[in-house]
């Protein structure tokens, strides 16, 4: 007891001998002196910030002013100060003797405290942007058409707790002069419980091809017809070994089936006709068949270049139809049925036709069209239009150069050529057309 009383008096408000904090000797120091001992390290730590990465891309930078990193000297000092002052007498005696004699050294860890507010906000933002629940597949077939369809989609879990633990580990390593200041957000892929292959008996498992087109600048009537025709193709199944006919599947195109009069090219003139714009539908479907790698058994390009089909592609990647003689046909030679899913983005005026089925390893080689033999159009054509008031002139066609478009289409599998086709399209020059109102 005498030794303990002597030691407590000798080291009043100071740390006992052989006492260390984070490996640095602090014996016989008071709290203020301990702070001075770590002042240089505090300066270094106090200037550090962190960068939170999502998939190797910086998502949030938290500066030292926001992070507020500080050495927790108070906590470390309080733990060190207990040496030789324990309320448990046997422990107090042991600590006093071993500290004074140097038989044992007492080393206490130092940690860095910091504000987690901005870290929590950043990780919550990551979760809001990228976190999602998995989606189970849906496939409902009635009356020879798929009426409900959804391909399964993986979900994503943003593990905020594990990420915060990694951030804490990184910050504490600054005590060892490690320079790293970036941390990746930890995520986990969540798998759906029902897949597409489990929902149907048609062998449909995945997306196998897609066609796109842009119908920007369409008049309202044409846009209506494009959207109507697009909806009629949605959900159609093409059985294995079956040849798809556009005209047979789209059905009657007239006012009786909901189509509106819009401008079409007929016999070299621009005239109003039911279903104007339906070739936007056939063109998008043609592109989907090409990108899926299906044999094209019947295809016709327009006689003249049409601007709608060059919004997002070079001339030649279009397909005109006119029942009953001019059709678009292709064959499903894949190992499963093909489901057509159509999507119309009304804001961007774009169509997406997606083919779902089963991949068989085929590879599609579609060359970029080569344009040659460019020729200029005739002078503009003015046509009377009794639907417009007298004095009103409306341009319905814009001048287009004539040209020749050539591209090749080859489909292979395991170095075997399944089929090959060369497209050679001639476009006649197309002059501007104006409609002149004649109505009183």
Q: Note the pLDDT tens digit of each residue in 44-89.
A: 999 999 999 999 999 999 999 999 999 999 999 999 898 888 778 8
pLDDT at 63: 96
**436 DSSP β-pair partners:** 384, 393
* 6-40 confidence digits (pLDDT tens): 666 677 888 989 999 999 999 999 999 999 999 99
Q: What is the mean pLDDT of the chain?
A: 92
Q: Determine which helix (DSSP H) or strand (DSSP E) holds 100, and give its type and residue range.
A: helix 89-101
Q: Is 160 helix (H, G, I), strand (E, B) or coil?
A: helix
Does the pLDDT at position 397 exceed 90? no
Average pLDDT over residues 84-111: 84
Neighbouring C-beta atoms of residue 300, cutoff 10 Å:
18
Closest CA to 265 of 348, 163, 381: 381
pLDDT at 98: 83
Q: Determine which helix (DSSP H) or strand (DSSP E) holds 337, and give its type and residue range.
A: none
Distance CA(180)–CA(184), nearest Å, equals: 12
Residue 157: both structure tokens together? 């879990």
Distance CA(204)–CA(406), nearest Å, equals: 34
pLDDT at 84: 81
Give residues with Cβ within 8 angstroms of 33, minimum separation 6: 26
* 347-381 confidence digits (pLDDT tens): 999 999 999 999 999 999 999 999 999 999 989 98
Give residues with Cβ within 8 angstroms of 170, minimum separation 6: 50, 178, 180, 181, 183
Does the pLDDT at position 311 exceed 70? yes
pLDDT at 9: 67
Measured N-to-C along each axis, helices 220-233 and 278-292 cross at an angle, to the nearest 10 degrees, of 40
Q: How do the residues of the chain divide into helix, strand and coil, expressed in percent and rounded to 5?
A: 30, 35, 35
Residue 86: both structure tokens together? 């324990």
Q: Among 1-10, 179-188, 295-304, 364-373, which is the least confidently predicted range?
A: 1-10
Measured N-to-C along each axis, helices 117-130 and 160-172 cross at an angle, to the nearest 10 degrees, of 140
Give residues with Cβ within 8 angstroms of 105, minimum separation 6: 18, 19, 20
pLDDT at 11: 78
| Band (155; pLDDT cuts 50, 70, 90) | very high
Residue 49: both structure tokens together? 């910030």
Q: Give the ranges where 274-380 is alpha helix by DSSP (H).
A: 278-292
pLDDT at 94: 84
Distance CA(55)–CA(223), nearest Å, equals: 40
pLDDT at 179: 86
Give residues with Cβ within 8 angstroms of 153, minimum separation 6: 132, 134, 135, 192
Does the pLDDT at position 175 exceed 90? yes
Residue 329: both structure tokens together? 């046909």
Does the pLDDT at position 265 exceed 70? no
pLDDT at 273: 61
**How is residue 312 annotated by DSSP?**
S
pLDDT at 117: 97
| Band (272; pLDDT cuts 50, 70, 90) | low
The per-residue DSSP string of 241-294 comes to: TPEEEHHHHH---SGGGT--EEEEEETTEEEEEETTTHHHHHHHHHHHHHHHT-
* 208-252 confidence digits (pLDDT tens): 999 999 999 998 999 999 999 999 999 999 999 999 999 999 999
Cis link prior to 324 (omega < 30° from 0)? yes
């Amino acid at each position: 007891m005498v030794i303990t009383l002597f030691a407590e008096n000798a080291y009043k408000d100071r740390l006992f001998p052989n006492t260390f904090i984070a490996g640095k000797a602090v014996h016989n120091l008071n709290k203020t002196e301990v702070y001075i001992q770590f002042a240089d390290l505090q300066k270094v730590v106090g200037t550090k910030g962190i960068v939170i990465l999502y998939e190797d891309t910086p998502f949030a930078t938290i500066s030292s002013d926001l992070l507020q990193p500080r050495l927790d000297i108070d906590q470390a000092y309080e733990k060190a100060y207990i040496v030789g002052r324990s309320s448990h007498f046997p422990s107090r005696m042991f600590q006093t003797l071993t500290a004074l004699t140097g038989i044992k050294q007492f080393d206490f860890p130092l940690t860095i405290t910091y504000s987690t507010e901005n870290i929590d906000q950043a990780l919550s933002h990551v979760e809001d942007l990228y976190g999602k629940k998995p989606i189970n597949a849906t496939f409902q077939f009635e009356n020879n058409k798929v009426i409900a369809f959804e391909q399964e989609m993986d979900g994503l879990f943003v593990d905020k707790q594990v990420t915060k633990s990694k951030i804490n580990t990184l910050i504490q390593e600054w005590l060892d002069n490690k320079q790293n200041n970036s941390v990746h957000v930890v995520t986990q892929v969540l798998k759906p419980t029902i897949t597409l292959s489990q929902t149907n008996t048609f062998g449909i498992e995945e997306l196998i091809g897609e066609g796109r087109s842009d119908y920007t600048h369409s008049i309202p009537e044409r846009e209506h017809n494009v959207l109507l025709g697009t909806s009629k193709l949605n959900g159609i199944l093409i059985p294995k070994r079956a040849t798809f006919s556009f005209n047979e599947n789209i059905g009657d195109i007239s006012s009786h089936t909901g189509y509106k009069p819009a401008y079409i090219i007929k016999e070299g003139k621009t005239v109003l006709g039911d279903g104007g714009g339906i070739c936007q539908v056939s063109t998008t479907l043609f592109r989907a068949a090409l990108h899926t790698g299906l044999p094209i058994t019947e295809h016709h390009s327009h006689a003249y270049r049409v601007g709608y089909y060059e919004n997002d592609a070079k001339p030649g990647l279009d397909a005109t139809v006119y029942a009953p003689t001019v059709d678009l046909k292709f064959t499903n030679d894949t190992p499963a049925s093909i489901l057509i899913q159509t999507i119309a983005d009304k804001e961007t005026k774009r169509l997406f036709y997606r083919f779902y089925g089963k991949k068989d390893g085929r590879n599609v080689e579609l060359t970029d069209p080569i344009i040659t033999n460019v020729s200029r159009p005739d002078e503009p054509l003015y046509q009377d239009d009794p639907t417009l008031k007298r004095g009103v002139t409306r341009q319905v066609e814009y001048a287009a150069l004539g040209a020749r478009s050539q591209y090749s289409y080859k489909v292979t599998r395991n170095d075997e050529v399944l089929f090959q086709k060369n497209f050679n399209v001639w476009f006649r020059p197309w002059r501007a057309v104006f409609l002149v109102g004649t109505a009183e």
